[in-house]
Structure 1
Amino acid sequence: MTVVRTGDLVAEASRRHRAVAAVNVITLEHAEAIAQAAGATGTAVIMQISENAVRFHGGLLEPVALATAAVARHCPVPVALHLDHVTDPDLLAQAAGSVFSSVMYDAGALPHEENIERTREAVAFARGAGLWLEAELGYVGGKADAPSSAHQPGVRTDPDEAAAFVAATGVDALAVAVGSSHAMTSRTAHLDAELIARLRDRLPVPLVLHGSSGVSEDELRLAVRAGIAKVNYGTGLNLAMTAAIRHCLQADEALVDPRKYLAPARDAMADTVGALLGALG
């Protein structure tokens, strides 16, 4: 299957009042698990690589990007490739001419006016490079460099401020703070569906939910009905992978062949992605 553009998948999902899953890739097994689940369910998906994942791979984008793209090309359903949570201008520049059709540029930890200015510059670069660009407004919890909790007052995305931000920057999509938090290991987040609906009605661009691993399937369905069009998901895969590996190693202390524990880990991640895709319809 030909790799498709992120913007096209998100626009189609938004038009149909649905959401497309954007799932984090760290290792080759992550990409293979996403492809396995997407193929089994016949569901288009976005594979996304974060700046943190690039840092894990020694700061080299090309190896993990090309490997992920190769897996995507062999998937029987449409797959888009997205570079996520970019703060480094050099990494943003590397996205141009690479396998990606989109980037999430993250200046959310900066003061508001600086966030606008940096994001406007990133949009200008993205336009010239043919990239679809997502940004973030409000504070989605769980990031170590951000100043407060998503569950404290005053950190949710304000619809009027969001409309002004989109107009000032020209972003193609906006990640909004509506109650979820990055890196949650339990599905206990409660989303503000009323706020999501107000943002949907106020903004001319699709809405993105970050931190979806901490959101129950019922809450995800409510969020999509309220207006979320792209659902980012990462920590849930890592939980599944780690649990499967731990089980294998505890069951056989003599086990040294990584294929013996990475295969079950990959299957566990595929099951997790399959459940997510099912929840999104």
Structure 2
Amino acid sequence: MPLISTTPMLEKARADKHGIVAFNVHSFDSIFWVLEAAAELRSPVIVQTTVGTVKQLGAKNIVQVVTAASEYYDIPTGLHLDHCTDLEVIKEAIHAGYTSVMIDASMHSFEKNVERTKKVIDLAKSLGVNIEAELGKVGGVEDDIVVNEEDAQKAVPIECKQFVDSTGVPTLAPAIGTAHGIYKGKPNIDFNRIAEIAKIVDVPLVLHGGSAVPDEDVRRCVALGMAKVNVSTELKNAYSEAIRNHFATEPESLDPRAYLQKAKDAAKEIAKSKIRMVDSENKVIPSFV
């Protein structure tokens, strides 16, 4: 199955009150176990890469591998560039075949954010590429974008409506109290703010910082209108910890097939649990196939 735009996928998810998980991948092998997990649960899925991963693996190479995996597993798959501030990298991803891109201008003024987002929309929307933008500032670290806890700012609902009306952006990531990475304590999610935003903004909303958020909190976010849920750190940690445990218990076992299989199995179980969490299991429908 060829890669598809995430716009109709996420619009249907919001209408049906379920979510779609966007999994950050950091290597070519992780693309296949993410798709394998989705295929086993018959779930649409979004493969997501940071700018750092694009620079390491190459946009064209990533598109070719994700396309091959999507065709092999026959699952509706979108490919998203996450948290990009560089218009040239966005152009590179679009030309390579990405079906979704995020322009992150949330560190700028509202007016500058609108201006930069509109530039990407003018470039990408006519091609059927989904565009995601952010309002407010999600705390934590995403590649080289660092937002300290004291600098994190929640999105203002009326500004979200003004932003969508001004730009026509098809998906919006409002900062609502989550953070990138693993939380030191319980995340302080502002559910009332999500409800206010969803009431006046009719595009699918995106939950950043979905790793280690309690399942019941994510489900509540999805029910309120968060159609896309980003997961990265939990996958990366499970994969790495499985390799570390392998060498701690079997230091002489140096066959990559042995320790990479353990890493794959551990991360794949996390992926499947996240798919079930947002209720996208068995959501592959004829219009996507």
Q: TM over 0.5, yes or no?
A: yes
Partner residue of 1:7?
7
Partner residue of 2:200?
202
> Deviation per CA, 1:217-262, whole angstroms, max 9, x where unpaired?
1110111111111111111100110110011111121232222111
Amino acid at match of 1:27: S
Is contact 2:140–2:148 with CA below 8 Å preserved after alignment? no
Q: How much has 1:159 moved relative to structure 2?
A: 0.4
Matched position secondary structure for 1:156 = coil
Partner residue of 1:176?
174
Amino acid at match of 1:102: S
Matched position secondary structure for 1:140 = coil
Amino acid at match of 2:12: E
Partner residue of 1:30?
30
Partner residue of 2:128?
130
Identity among equivalent positions (%) equals 31
Q: What is the correspondence of 1:117-156 to structure 2 with a 5 Å cutoff?
A: 117-143=115-141, 145-149=145-149, 152=150, 155-156=153-154
In the alignment, which of 201, 208, 211 is matched to residue 209 of structure 2? 211
> Deviation per CA, 1:193-230, whole angstroms, max 9, x where unpaired?
11111110011211100010031111101111111111
Is contact 1:139–1:148 with CA below 8 Å preserved after alignment? no
Q: TM-score, normalised by structure 2?
A: 0.90
Partner residue of 1:89?
87
Distance 1:39 1:186, change over 3 A: farther
Amino acid at match of 2:48: Q
C-alpha distance in 2 between matches for 1:15 and 1:96: 27
Partner residue of 2:158?
160
Is contact 1:185–1:235 with CA below 8 Å preserved after alignment? no
Is contact 2:48–2:82 with CA below 8 Å preserved after alignment? yes
Equivalent pairs counted in the alignment come to 277
Matched position secondary structure for 1:95 = helix
Partner residue of 2:16?
16
Q: How much has 1:45 moved relative to structure 2?
A: 0.8
In the alignment, which of 250, 253, 268 is matched to residue 252 of structure 1? 250
Amino acid at match of 1:18: H
Q: Structure 2: 5+ residue runs without aligned partners?
A: 280-289
Is contact 2:240–2:263 with CA below 8 Å preserved after alignment? yes
Indicate the RMSD between aligned Cα atoms, in angstroms: 1.8
C-alpha distance in 1 between matches for 2:157 and 2:238: 35
Q: How much has 1:190 moved relative to structure 2?
A: 3.1
Q: Structure 1: 5+ residue runs without aligned partners?
A: none
C-alpha distance in 2 between matches for 1:2 and 1:162: 32
Distance 1:260 1:116, change over 3 A: same
Is contact 2:173–2:207 with CA below 8 Å preserved after alignment? yes
Distance 1:91 1:17, change over 3 A: same
Q: How much has 1:95 moved relative to structure 2?
A: 2.5
Q: How much has 1:13 moved relative to structure 2?
A: 0.2
In the alignment, which of 236, 240, 258 is matched to residue 234 of structure 2? 236
Q: How much has 1:140 moved relative to structure 2?
A: 0.7
Q: How much has 1:10 moved relative to structure 2?
A: 0.3
Distance 1:55 1:62, change over 3 A: same
C-alpha distance in 1 between matches for 2:235 and 2:152: 31
Is contact 1:187–1:214 with CA below 8 Å preserved after alignment? no
C-alpha distance in 1 between matches for 2:125 and 2:151: 35
Amino acid at match of 1:216: P
Q: How much has 1:188 moved relative to structure 2?
A: 2.8
Is contact 1:185–1:236 with CA below 8 Å preserved after alignment? no
